[in-house]
Structure 1
Amino acid sequence: MSAGEFTLTGAQVLRDGALDAGPVAVSGGVIADALLGRQVALPGCKVLPGIIDMHGDGFERHLAPRRGAMTDLGFGLAGVEAELAANGITTAMLAQFWSWEGGLRGRDFALRFLAALKAYRGTGTDMRAQLRFETHLLEDYAAFEDTVARFGVHQVVFNDHLPHEALSQDKRPPRLTGQALKSGRNPEVYLALMQGLHAQRAQVPQAVAGLAARLAARGVVLGSHDDGDAATRNVWRDRGVRLSEFPETVDAAQEARTGGDGIVLGAPNVMRGGSHAGNVSASDLVVAGLCDALASDYVYAAPLVAAQRLAGRIGWPAAWALVSDGPARLLGLADRGRIAPGLRADLVVLDAAGRVCLTVAGGRVTHASGVGAAALLAAE
């Protein structure tokens, strides 16, 4: 269905911090304040703001199902959009690396990805780039900054995945050979690259502080990744980096909250009942009030499942805000995240079993199944 006029009726609707039974009208891609067009009856369902995913790298499996198989990334992005819509995601930050690791995480692939995303014309899902920049790539700073400006990148997250402990002890990092071959490099060349980047670590703090300041001046949303303690979060805040993605400890999350920084946690952590890496439980942080947004990370189904599980502990309005209004605020997207007249018509409808049966992005139906598809057909 194109971005025309229609009204969803008969369902519970989450708005103004509560579930009510009123209709939701859509006109010209935004929420309207009066009943319009065809009426789509959805008894027994819930109508919720569309999910805003702040950080997801599940798109990688669509862009590279096998090495070299995807010559036109546009086809892969169509698969990404279909999966996002099926999981109720209406805005997605696609977290692409710019890393020394090479392959899908290297600079060349990042440039291919950005060009493909700019050219892609989808069905309505708002897909944007988050670039994950490895801080020790000092020679790439100028090219990276130019790329952010040229492609209008909305969000940058700073990463450091160098195995510093092993490199400081002149040891071969674990999984070195496999990672090198995956990126198409000789293991010894790969090791020498890591050693060279590690050796210039003293220059990184000043360089990254300058880069962060310049990007912030352009309005780019900045985040750090895997803050391990309060001191690390404090350092990033001093650099103007006000989002803490996936803090690994309670202390790091608490420092973020005390300093007024945004806190993004992994929805898969909530979905599986804990961190797969042995870090702090995201559910515990949420209940303690130390979370502003949940992100899909590597599983696009996770935000929906996590919000549903948390709803039993903190209520539907608070749980759903973590995947809608919270991410919208952190990303500076004031036109979405809630159901209110004049806002972008981003909606997800859950059937009585909690399954996504209808997704609307920018007033366009991007996914319909089960009772949602039946309701659309009955309204024709």
Structure 2
Amino acid sequence: MHPPRFLSVLTALSAAALMSVGALPSSSAVAEPPAKHFLITAGDASMGLSVMRVHDDGALTPTPGSPFRTGFGILGISVSPDKKKLYVPHVGDGAVSAFRIDDAGSLHLLNTVAVGGAPTGARVTPDGKHLYVVLGGFPGQVATLAITPSGALRPLNRPRPAIGTPSSAVGMASIDPDGRFLRVTSYISTTLTSYALSPNGGARSIGTTPVAFGPVAPGYTPDGRFLYSSDEFGFGLSGFRIHADGSLTPTPGSPYPTGGVPHGVITSPDGKRLYVPNAVGTSIAAYRIHPDGRLTRIAGSPYPGPAGTLCGQVALHPSGKWLYDIDVLTVGITTRITTYRVRADGGLAPTNRPVVDTGVVMSDGPVVALT
């Protein structure tokens, strides 16, 4: 990363040099029974989607055909509520692709829809009926696509509300767990714009909230009470309580320093812990989430990340016993996944598990999903 600029900007500047890398050929794999979980990682620069089978013991193995090729410039991915469809916006051709995920973890293209702009983020509604797409620009816009019963995408003739800032060149989206509100961070304009969503796919702006400079990849507690945004230029997290009308107020003590340049947020299924990778600083910060949304560091945090990498995103094993660190850039070129053991107190400990190579390049932004 070019500290402290967000790597999506770096992606845009280095695209021409990296397009030739391409997705790497897959390795052979022994047939296995259907898996319950897959870890999906996109590569901004290699036009590829890595799919890893997640085993009950925390091990990862590539699925047949991985990595799968898609459009160039992926800055975010979104999985359907039933975990069987994947939606991938790609900036290079201004389109969004829909894939079906089969029981073996292979991806099958359903269709690709042009969105009339540069899609920098997309999120599926909790009912699985709509996909909201953030379009970068001056100003940016929010577009809506309908999701058909098959999982394919269909354009909708809905007004495209502007993002309430001068620029949303690297806008990223999230939807509240109850599906009532869409949140869009604007990296350059240091704001978070909120929208009320309607059942027919409409979106109405309900105001903007100031955040620290460089907000990216907002995430929630599972109960939908709190929202946290990584603020790269602010070297910390902004925390907000979500009120019934969708408005936001800061949590006590916000913002919270992370010990580096934060690059995404994930919370534990019980909503009691939060983890954030520090891309610059190469570490993973861990916090306890208090009932009022306040964060306090877990002993030993931040924990060292793998040498020669920039920690990009983190994902938790469904059992809660392991945490996966997916680097955004590495001296090894292709994105690697490192496994940590989650201690009883929520802290992290290294394991002797081998580092896994995804075969994709530059996993920047919220481009990781665990089904």
Fold agreement, TM-score > 0.5: no
Q: Normalization by structure 2: what TM-score?
A: 0.29
Q: Which one scores higher on RCO, CA 8 angstroms, separation ≥ 6?
A: 1
Q: Which has the higher helix share?
A: 1
Q: Normalization by structure 1: what TM-score?
A: 0.29
Q: Which has the larger radius of gyration?
A: 1
Q: Which has the higher strand share?
A: 2
